[in-house]
């Protein structure tokens, strides 16, 4: 009866990150664990029941429209960060530079996981994926500061490798070292 099915791939949480104040910049700080409520990550600048539309949704909404917050958590993978770093010719791309809350490993092509995939962590806390995250200019500037001459290609080089945004389906804690179970909706194309 259920239309999401668990797959055999199990991911792992490599790092948890927080940014209490967006005004100080995009960069986040490592932390031992994250507490998820239906508002998002407690203490993170992106938490809240709602968010305002911005440049990402200009084809749908003017700026400043109140929307349900579906960008509560930003996830990236060790594997994809390494690929982007290689393309940018820098030694490493730390997740804190690009505003991620979770660095995970063991999930191939993390960014391409289908919308509405469920990610269940060891505590039972569960995220639902909304969409791929769009590589934008802000991380480019951070990388450029650390590695002058290497950051500005980020939006192009990070295409389809910049991770996902997700929202909380079930409250709970996420801790470094957690396993991540994956429940996928049916995969098929809508041909119209």
Q: Which residues bind a copy of itself (CB under 8 A)?
A: 1-7, 9, 38, 49-50, 55-61, 65-68, 70, 108-109, 112-116, 118, 120, 124, 126, 128, 130-132, 134, 136, 167-171, 183-190, 192
Q: Which is nearer to a copy of itself, 9 or 82 (CB)?
A: 9
144-159 as b/e, with b when 16 or more CB fall inside 10 Å?
Answer: beebeebbebbbebbe
Closest distance to a copy of itself from the beta carbon of 91 (Å): 28
Closest distance to a copy of itself from the beta carbon of 3 (Å): 5
Q: How many CB atoms lie within 10 A of CB 86?
A: 13
Closest distance to a copy of itself from the beta carbon of 55 (Å): 6
Given the structure tokens 């098929």, which residue do they identify? 188
Closest distance to a copy of itself from the beta carbon of 124 (Å): 8
Which residues, 6 or more positions from 33, have their beta carbon under 8 angstroms from its beta carbon?
16, 173, 174, 175, 176
68 beta partners: 50
Q: Which is nearer to a copy of itself, 58 or 92 (CB)?
A: 58
């Amino acid at each position: 009866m259920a239309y999401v099915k668990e797959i055999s791939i199990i991911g792992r949480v490599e790092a948890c990150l927080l940014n209490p104040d967006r005004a100080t910049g995009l960069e986040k700080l490592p932390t031992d664990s994250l507490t998820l409520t239906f508002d998002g990550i407690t203490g993170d600048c992106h938490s809240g029941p709602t968010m305002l539309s911005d440049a990402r949704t200009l084809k749908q909404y003017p700026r400043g429209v109140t929307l349900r917050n579906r960008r509560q958590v930003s996830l990236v993978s060790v594997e994809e960060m390494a690929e982007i770093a290689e393309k940018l010719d820098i030694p490493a791309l730390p997740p804190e530079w690009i505003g991620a809350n979770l660095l995970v490993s063991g999930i191939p092509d993390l960014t391409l996981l289908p919308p509405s995939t469920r990610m269940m962590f060891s505590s039972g806390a569960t995220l639902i994926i909304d969409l791929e995250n769009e590589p934008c200019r802000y991380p480019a500037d951070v990388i450029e500061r650390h590695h002058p001459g290497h950051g500005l290609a980020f939006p192009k080089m990070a295409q389809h490798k910049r991770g996902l945004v997700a929202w909380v389906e079930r409250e709970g804690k996420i801790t470094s070292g957690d396993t991540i179970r994956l429940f996928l909706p049916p995969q098929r194309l809508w041909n119209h």
